Structure 1
Amino acid sequence: MQKLNLPTFEFRMRKQNGKDQIFDNIRKKFVALTPEEWVRQNLIAFLIHHQKYSAGLIAVEMLVKVNGLNQRADIVVYNRKGKPVMIVECKAPSVAVTKAVFNQAARYNMQLQVDFMMVSNGLQHFCAQLKDKQGGYEMMQQIPSVEQILSA
């Protein structure tokens, strides 16, 4: 898989019926190894091993209803009170991180009401902190620390 703009991590992988799979430690199962999944698993490893987020506070492919339609948020991080505090939208490295991608995370936030949003294609990472209930946000220079997340 493509080298990402993240530290290198070791993953459990296998081939099943001729298809590559990667073990998702959050969902506790092997999943298809697509370029987007590669980004998702590397971001999860980064959040846990470098940012020190608790694996127990991370959900993957969480069901979110947007305008009555079922959608799936790639990664949702919770605080210790069980409140969602960050949405992470992952794209394959070949997909440009545009305003449309950020707007996708913002649509999920209509239901989740988180304080932080992040979008990444593994090569570029953008984070924002929500500033008001009307959807105003401020771009951040770095991924929120575990202290920022847990105090949200």
Structure 2
Amino acid sequence: MQPLNYPAYDFRFKNRENKVYIFDAVRKKFVVLQPEEWVRQHVVQHLVSEKKYPISHINVEKQLTVNKLKKRYDVVIFNPSGTIEVLVECKAPKVVITQQVFDQIARYNLQLKAKYLIVTNGLDHFFCEMDFENEQYNFLRDIPDYKVR
């Protein structure tokens, strides 16, 4: 897999049936290593290692319903009260981050109501803070580090 704009992390890999698997510390299992999964695993490690979010607050690839359609979010981080603090949309490195990608995470967030959004393809990262009162998001340089509230 290609290098991403994240620090180098020490991932666990295994090969089975001519496929490479990467260990997902959140799901506690090996998953097939696809380009989007490579990005997702870097994001999770970054959030845990650099931003200090507890891994126990992170959830990966769960289903939600948006406009009666079943969708899957990539990563969410819950705060201690159980509401969603951060919603992350991961794309493969070859996928350009466009307005369409922001529209996708915005639709998901209509239901999830996360305070912060991250959109990344592993090379380009965008961070936003929601302004629910004005129905917009404001771009940030980064999301805040974890802090107990």
**Normalising to structure 1: TM-score of the pair?**
0.94
Alignment of 1:64-79 (within 5 A): 64-79=64-79
On the 8 A contact 1:129/1:138 being kept in 2, the answer is yes
Report how far residue 126 of structure 1 moved: 0.1
Q: Which letter does structure 1 place at the counterpart of 2:30?
A: F
| TM-fit CA distance, 1:137 | 1.1
Question: In the TM superposition, what are the counterparts of 1:1-152 in structure 2 within 5 Å?
Answer: 1-133=1-133, 135-147=135-147, 151=149
Count of residues in Structure 1 that have an aligned counterpart in Structure 2: 149
Tell me the amino acid that sits aligned with residue 67 of structure 1: N
Looking at structure 2, the residues matched to 70 and 54 of structure 1 have their Cα atoms a distance apart, in angstroms, of 28
Supply the AA of the counterpart residue of 2:135. G
- Could you list the runs of 5+ residues in structure 1 that have no partner in the other structure? none
Q: Contact (CA 8 Å) 1:62, 1:76: kept in 2 or not?
A: no
**2: distance between equivalents of 1:108 and 1:144?**
21
SS at structure 1 position matched to 2:93: coil
Taking the aligned partners of 1:124 and 1:88, their CA distance within structure 2 comes to 13
Distance 2:135 2:70 in 1: 21
| Alpha carbons 1:118, 1:128 under 8 Å: kept | yes
Letter of the aligned partner of 1:27 in structure 2?
A: R
> TM-score scaled by structure 2?
0.96
Structure 2: give runs of 5+ residues left out of the alignment: none
The answer to which of 81-90 and 131-140 deviates more is 131-140
Output the CA distance in 2 between the equivalents of 1:144 and 1:105.
19
- One-letter code aligned to 1:48: V
CA distance in 2, matches of 1:23, 1:133: 40
Q: Which runs of 4+ in 1 moved over 2 A?
A: none
Identity of aligned residues (%): 43
SS in 1 for 2:101: helix
